Amino acid sequence: MKQNWHFKFLMTFLISINGLYAQSDSCHLKFKVNGFNGGKIKMIGVYADQNYIADSTMMNDLGEFEFKRKSPFKPGYFYIILPDYSSFHMMINDEQFFTMEANKGDYINSMKVSGSIDNELLYQSMILQSRHEKKFDSLNEQKSKQANNPEVIKKIEAALELINVERKDYMRNLEAKYPNVFFTKFKIAGQNPEVPDFRKPNGEPDISKKLEFFRLNFWNGVDLKDTRLLATPVIVNKLNRFITDLTVQQPDSIIRQADFVIQKSLENPEMFQFFTNYIALKYQPSKTKVMDGEAVYVHIIDKYFTKDRAFWLTEKELADLRKKAWEMSASLLNRIGPDVISVDPNGQTKSIYGIKKPYIIVFMYDPKCEHCQEETPKLKQFYEEWKNKGVEVFAIVLNAKDQEWRDFIKKYQVQNWINVHDPTNASIYAKYYVDITPEMYVLNKERKIIGKNLKVEQLKIILERDMGISN
């Protein structure tokens, strides 16, 4: 994928957060950190997993500094970086006339907030969380030391449950008393669903059922209509966990979960834009290590990057992107691999479809590529062991002059497999097959792609599986 549309996607937000799309209200934020006597201050804003400099100012010799603007900051989560590079957290919403004061080195417990309910609640939550973590760690340490004392363990578990009850009570009270406050939306979005104690008929915990319930309810309570949440870490953390940690990293599973969550984002164009961009970029060629991860990329582009939905792209950008995805679809797993017709060192025409052996390893390399230089001797050794088992190598050189190609063949003594060079790119093999080098595909006797993005050590597994050989 070209970077221009992703760059444009990020820049649109970065322009807006710097006030070009801001309302006409003014903003005056005052701070004091006791224990400092001057220095430079930076305000760091958040957009998903990206940070940006929102503003900067100077602290006076009393530890005081301020941000005063004609236009307000866009709501979101921020960090104040102090002269010693320590920092404290802050949220900004519609209330942009407030003060915060704390002591150096103890920002959580000493923080005093005036004029901002979001920051009052933020620091109340941080204090409670800190207390819970200390109790939790202490109790677990005691638990490990008393592993052989059931009575003590029972009391410790009861104390741990009390912490959990206190946390739940806090969340219920927060939602009941401040349901529409930005901090409340942020805090609720970060919560995990409470999973029932599913059991199998034999009484054992039903892990699969628990996991499925967790996934299905993972987004409960997350207000995807609230665009402000994109300017905090919570949405990207949740999305990454859902797609990566809670989903088997296999294309069909990823596509199913991606569709599930993207459907939830459709009610908010900005949230939809972020979700589709994030997932597509995560599984674009050269970025993913998932076998056939490009299938996820192709699916997202084909289904969601349409003229009526991808409002952030120009007509040309959208057309180029969809064309790239369409071309890429030809090299997905279980598709018939496109033929490549080119010439060998003797000027004879060679083609993939002309090979009689049932299995073909399509090897694409650049003679100047260090990884290609590392993989070629390994592939040569593998080929020598497998060439009499119905395996052929069809090696396509990329980005090389004729002499460079011939020198490479001679240096690595790979004359025994099929080598081709197409300096005119007439066979458009690069378009169909490769995004980075080295690249290896395996085609079976039907010329279906049964393996891609492979290392030499993975070839045996792919071939034996298709041959029906079990270890």
What is the CA angle 15-17-19, rounded to 5? 80
* Two tokens, residue 242: 């859902």
Q: CB-hemisphere CA count at 13 Å for 111?
A: 21
3-state secondary structure of 30: strand
Question: Would you say the pTM of this structure is higher than 0.85?
Answer: no
Query: Do 417 and 359 meet the contact criterion of CB atoms below 8 Å apart?
Result: no
Average of per-residue pLDDT across 343-351 = 93
Architecture label for domain 341-467: 3-Layer(aba) Sandwich (3.40)
Longest dimension (CA), the chain: 84
Residue 8: which pLDDT band, with cuts at 50, 70 and 90?
Answer: low
DSSP secondary structure letter of residue 75? S
3-state secondary structure of 21: coil
Query: Do 9 and 277 meet the contact criterion of CB atoms below 8 Å apart?
Result: yes
Cβ count near 428 (within 10 Å): 13
Compute the distance between CA of residue 223 and CA of residue 377 in angstroms, rounded to an integer: 54
Architecture label for domain 11-121: Sandwich (2.60)
Strand duo 359-365 + 97-103: pairing: unpaired
Q: Is 351 exposed, middle or buried (0-12, 13-18, 19+ CB in 10 A)?
A: middle
Average of per-residue pLDDT across 238-257 = 95
* Two tokens, residue 42: 């930076």
> Mind listing the pLDDT tens digit for each residue in 140-172?
888 888 777 888 888 888 998 899 999 999 999
> Mind listing the pLDDT tens digit for each residue in 375-412?
999 999 999 999 999 999 999 998 889 999 999 999 99
Q: CB-hemisphere CA count at 13 Å for 335?
A: 18
* Two tokens, residue 210: 């628990």
CA end-to-end span of the chain: 39
Q: How far is CA 134 from CA 138, 141, 163, 417, 454, in A?
A: 6, 11, 11, 64, 46
Residue in 331, 351, 355 with CA at minimum distance from that of residue 341 = 351
Residue in 194, 196, 191 with CA at minimum distance from that of residue 175 = 191
Domain residue ranges of the chain, discontinuous segments joined by +: 11-121, 207-329, 341-467
- Residue 80 has phi, psi (to 5 degrees) of -100, 115
Query: Do 184 and 226 meet the contact criterion of CB atoms below 8 Å apart?
Result: no
DSSP secondary structure letter of residue 172? H
Compute the distance between CA of residue 23 and CA of residue 45 in angstroms, rounded to an integer: 18
* Two tokens, residue 89: 């957290």
* Two tokens, residue 125: 């939550």
Looking at residue 454, what is its pLDDT? Answer: 87
Element (H, E) at 135: helix 117-145
Q: Where are the alpha helices (DSSP H) in 41-116?
A: 107-110
Looking at residue 426, what is its pLDDT? Answer: 54
Looking at residue 24, what is its pLDDT? Answer: 46
Helix count (H) and strand count (E) of the chain? 15, 15
> Mind listing the pLDDT tens digit for each residue in 12-65?
555 454 444 344 448 999 999 999 999 999 999 999 999 999 999 999 999 999
Q: How far is CA 431 from CA 197, 277, 299, 324, 329, in A?
A: 51, 22, 18, 8, 11
